[in-house]
Structure 1
Amino acid sequence: MSVDDDKYPGDSGRRRFVKGVVGGASLAGVGAVGSATVNSVTASGGSGGGTTQAMAIENTAGPAPRGMPQIPIEIDGDGAIRGVWPEVTSTTEQGVQVQVAEMDMGGQTYSSEWFQYCGVETYTGIQPGFEPEGGNYFHSGADPAYQWQADAMSGGDRFTVDLFSDYETWGNGIGVEGMGKPATGTWRSQGTEDVITIQLLRSPLIEELANSGSVRAPNGETYEADGDTQEWLQASTSQGFIAWLNKCTHFCCVPGFKENEGSARYDAENGVYCPCHQSVYVPFQIVSTVFTSRPRPD
């Protein structure tokens, strides 16, 4: 797949909610404005960026050009949930010594470049060698999107497995129950001015996809993962937990899983819906996507 393949296909049958608003280069490259500048600097020495392959929750409708990148997770001995940060090494690029965050995981090359779009590449937390206060744990934000989270947590609290004990039956009146229990939060942002927004979901569907590669969901849909994707899910998820960088790849808005009542108008009540321009993502369909990540500042 080339970078151009990340643009709208000529005849894909996908619904179009925004037409003629931005050029294909903006959509394909970064999902934000300024694509001409980005295209001119993606080969900047020592800054990373360029053509990147990432595992993402699939974009199925709306103007977003691709899925949102997944964050691999792990659970510590106390049940606290954290994101995996790639292994950091030093290398020389175009005569400049730089740090690189990259590792092999589940048959994929997991890299910090997965998250280099929407301006996140400038955030302190995305720098390879940065060590955030309290490590790589996911924390609740001060203004969570879900009432259960607002009732049970305070801003800055770590997410723990026990908070999601009702994940097999949870519902909030949007879509059907039993699809999973979501939360909104931050990652690698403690002690920084920039906040990396994430969405965390514990779902029996993710658990079954990792275990068997196929699941029949309460909404009547069947989701499947091929051998490579199942291998990735086994390595990047745990106990049904999955996480992703919650930045819409269209114009960097913040979508939500089963969060917006209006999502039913776009058949997105059981998925991740972006209310700004009606992009839809499905966290039970994990795909490999190719895009142009932005370079980190020197």
Structure 2
Amino acid sequence: MSKTEDKYPPESGRRRFVKGVVGGAALAGVGAGGSVAINSATTSPGRGGGSTQAMAIENIAGPAPRGMPQIPLEIDSEGYLKGVWPDVTTETQNGIEIEIAEMDLGGMTYSSEWFQYCGVEAYQGIQPSYESDNYFRSDSGKYEWQTSTYESGDRLHVDDFSDYTEWGNGIGDDGLGKPATGTWRSQDSSDTIPIQVIRSPIIEEAAQENEWLGASTSEGFIAWLNKCTHFCCVPGYKIAADAAKFNAEDDVYCQCHQSVYDPFNIVPTLFTARPRPD
């Protein structure tokens, strides 16, 4: 039995990650003393932060404490991919006016606090009112197809992923999806927010029956903030040849300490978002 067959058994009739998303409502009600352990909210100085629930690609192995947060995305009228940034409002908390980036999306509360970890909370692009066109742009590229298609800074385009149902690079199984690495909300900024994108038939199928995935993905594309929640390294999907040693050739693998994430299993995750610096 291949790894793909074992991981997503056809007799189940549903992909495994659909269960994770459906279970979100139950998880949301679990307190710090329940079966799901979460960090308590901090009172550190700064803006925003505290106990947060995000949708994330699931951590399935290694020392990482939780999954990496998903970035909802859309495709513009010309076929370019861009991340969705939450609506920005101003609120008064403890007598201080602070900006909040938050919106309802797909039955969830999507917030910029999802990305406030690993020092990213101090990045310019995570400040709620930072001006950005929100397009996903190629970095130097971790895949041969990407380096031959894009210059660094080029916007990712849907047409360049047209072979997503067959693509492979000799690592793991072919046909699970076509990936690219890039940046988001990092133009004209000294900080670089790394992202990973995959166009996958698995995501495309699941989005047809799930409210969150239907709202946060498009045409099989899914994206996440690519910062390992262990020690903040940048993992990769089908990049590291040694991923097979850890049964992670079809997963997102972090070479720093062998944390593994399942990009096809989107689950709610509870954690304490760090406050943005004053």
TM-score clears 0.5:
yes
SS at match of 1:56: strand
Deviation of residue 177 (structure 1)?
0.3
Deviation of residue 232 (structure 1)?
0.4
Query: CA–CA distance in 2 between the matches of 1:42 and 1:113?
Result: 13
Deviation of residue 180 (structure 1)?
0.2
Match of 1:245 in 2: 225
Query: CA–CA distance in 2 between the matches of 1:164 and 1:181?
Result: 6
CA contact (8 A) 1:45 1:94 kept: no
Match of 2:102 in 1: 102
SS at match of 2:207: helix
Query: CA–CA distance in 2 between the matches of 1:258 and 1:3?
Result: 35
Counterpart residue type for residue 159 of structure 2: D
CA contact (8 A) 1:114 1:293 kept: yes
Match of 1:144 in 2: 141
Structure 2: give runs of 5+ residues left out of the alignment. Answer: 1-29
Match of 1:187 in 2: 184
Aligned-residue Cα RMSD (Å) equals 1.5
Counterpart residue type for residue 139 of structure 1: R
Query: CA–CA distance in 2 between the matches of 1:256 and 1:68?
Result: 12
Query: CA–CA distance in 1 between the matches of 2:79 and 2:275?
Result: 35
Match of 2:153 in 1: 156
Determine if the alignment matches structure 1 residue 178 to structure 2 residue 198: no
CA contact (8 A) 2:125 2:189 kept: yes
CA contact (8 A) 1:52 1:113 kept: yes
Deviation per residue, 1:80-115 (Å, 9 max, x gap): 000000000010011001110000000000000000
Query: CA–CA distance in 1 between the matches of 2:211 and 2:62?
Result: 29
Deviation per residue, 1:111-154 (Å, 9 max, x gap): 0000000000000000001112xx0000011x211111001000
Q: How does 1:149-298 map to 2 (within 5 A)?
A: 149-212=146-209, 230-298=210-278
Deviation of residue 42 (structure 1)?
2.9
TM-score (norm 1): 0.81
SS at match of 2:208: helix
Deviation of residue 3 (structure 1)?
4.8
CA contact (8 A) 2:45 2:277 kept: no
Q: How does 1:85-124 map to 2 (within 5 A)?
A: 85-124=85-124
Deviation per residue, 1:20-48 (Å, 9 max, x gap): xxxxxxxx65xxxxxxxxx8x93346611
Query: CA–CA distance in 1 between the matches of 2:192 and 2:42?
Result: 23
CA contact (8 A) 1:45 1:96 kept: no
Identity among equivalent positions (%) equals 63
Give the 3 Å change call, closer, same or farther, for CA 3–277 of structure 1 in structure 2: farther
Determine if the alignment matches structure 1 residue 83 to structure 2 residue 90: no
Give the 3 Å change call, closer, same or farther, for CA 91–45 of structure 1 in structure 2: farther
Query: CA–CA distance in 1 between the matches of 2:238 and 2:196?
Result: 12
Query: CA–CA distance in 2 between the matches of 1:282 and 1:51?
Result: 24
CA contact (8 A) 1:211 1:234 kept: yes
Tell me the matched-pair count: 248
Give the 3 Å change call, closer, same or farther, for CA 63–45 of structure 1 in structure 2: closer
Q: How does 1:59-78 map to 2 (within 5 A)?
A: 59-78=59-78
Query: CA–CA distance in 2 between the matches of 1:201 and 1:186?
Result: 14
Deviation of residue 211 (structure 1)?
1.4
Query: CA–CA distance in 1 between the matches of 2:86 and 2:252?
Result: 26
CA contact (8 A) 1:273 1:281 kept: yes
Query: CA–CA distance in 2 between the matches of 1:164 and 1:202?
Result: 7
Counterpart residue type for residue 113 of structure 1: E
